[in-house]
Amino acid sequence: MKIALDVDGVLADIIFVWLDEYNKTHKKSATKDDIVQWDFWKELGYDKYKFYEELSGCWSRWIEVPPMEHDIANAVEKLHSVGIVDIVTARDEASTKYVKQWLEHNGIKYNDYVAVARGRDKADLDYGIFIDDSPNNVVSIVSKGKNALLYDQPWNKSITDSKIVRIKKLEEAVNVIADLPQKFGNQYKIQSFLDDNREG
């Protein structure tokens, strides 16, 4: 089983750094709980290019980016027990070196590092399961008949699709993946899951 593991919003709490910069610049006191939709930046008068440029720039402060969970490296280590874990992230070249430094600093082990230009491009990749926090990404992934786990965040609460399994901690993904046929219940996916295990 090949597992595509997202970075921003799943492993790394990058929005924490972005909010810190935004609040200082604009004399605001916004918190992550205020971000209740994926494209919240529209309400701030941003376009997506400005927002993502700022978010990418925040990675230069990589040493200050907190992990989403206290023992994130151990949670990822457990994921390796149920599949091959690749980092799959929508990423520009400028922030890649910082992300890789952050992963190493936090002791996060992975097989391969895959960067795509846009989040929705992930759905075209050959993975058995995707772990992501983007509502847009997971909807795109399941629309192509693939499995997605949605990492719970304030900005993805609107997603209620029964084909998408929501997890609140990364460790929950281990049990879901180990029990994939029962969790997803789709006969085609059951066969696909069994075939993957026979091959590997």
- The 10s digit of each residue's pLDDT in 63-122 is 999 999 999 999 999 999 999 999 999 999 999 999 999 999 999 999 999 999 988 899
- The 10s digit of each residue's pLDDT in 7-21 is 999 999 999 999 999
Residue 184: what pLDDT? 58
What is the Cα–Cα distance from 152 to 167, expressed in whole angstroms? 6
Is residue 88 a contact partner of residue 6, using CB atoms and an 8 Å limit? yes
Angle (deg, nearest 10), helices 171-178 and 72-79:
10
Is the whole-model pTM more than 0.75? yes
CATH 3.40.50.1000 in the chain, residue ranges: 2-12+66-199
CATH architecture of the domain with residue range 2-12+66-199:
3-Layer(aba) Sandwich (3.40)
What is the Cα–Cα distance from 125 to 6, expressed in whole angstroms? 13
